[in-house]
C-alpha cells in the first residue's frame, strides 16, 4: 500500500497525517507509539511494541530451573534508603 502525502508545518516541526486506511491496516489508535528509522534515505515508521506492565514483567521472571523467583536479597541498607 503506497500513498503520496504532503508535509505540513506544525509549529517548529514538520509532520504528516496518517491516512485512515493505513491506521486501520496496522491497528493504530490515538496515543499509540510508533518507531521511526532512517535506512538508505528512507523513513520507516512502524507501530512500537506494547510495553509490559510491572505485573506482567514479574510474572515472566523465573530462576534458572524455570520456577518463579522467591525474592532477592539486596543486603543491608547502605544509603539514603534507610531514611
Largest Cα–Cα separation, the chain: 61
Pick from 10, 7, 83: nearest CA to 43: 7
| Confidence (pTM) | 0.55
Distance between CA atoms of residues 10 and 16, nearest Å: 9
Task: Supply the pLDDT for residue 5.
Answer: 92
The CATH number covering residue 22 comes to 2.10.260.10
Distance between CA atoms of residues 18 and 14, nearest Å: 14
Flag whether 59 is in a domain: yes
Flag whether 48 is in a domain: yes
Task: Supply the pLDDT for residue 82.
Answer: 67
Tens digit of each residue's pLDDT (9 = 90 or more) over 72-81:
677 888 877 7
Structural domain count of the chain: 1
Flag whether 39 is in a domain: yes
Give residue 57's domain range: 8-69
Higher pLDDT, 22 or 53: 22
Flag whether 33 is in a domain: yes
Distance of CA 79 to the CA centre of its chain: 33
Distance of CA 58 to the CA centre of its chain: 18
In which residue are the cell numbers 515508521 written? 45
Flag whether 76 is in a domain: no
Higher pLDDT, 62 or 60: 60
Amino acid at each position: 500500500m503506497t500513498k503520496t502525502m504532503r508535509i505540513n508545518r506544525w509549529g517548529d516541526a514538520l509532520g504528516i497525517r496518517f491516512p485512515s486506511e493505513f491506521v486501520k491496516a496496522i491497528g493504530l489508535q490515538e496515543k499509540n507509539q510508533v518507531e521511526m528509522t532512517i535506512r538508505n534515505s528512507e523513513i520507516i515508521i512502524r507501530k512500537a511494541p506494547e510495553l509490559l506492565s510491572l505485573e506482567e514483567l514479574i510474572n515472566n521472571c523465573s530462576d534458572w530451573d524455570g520456577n518463579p523467583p522467591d525474592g532477592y536479597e539486596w543486603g543491608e541498607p547502605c544509603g539514603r534508603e534507610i531514611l
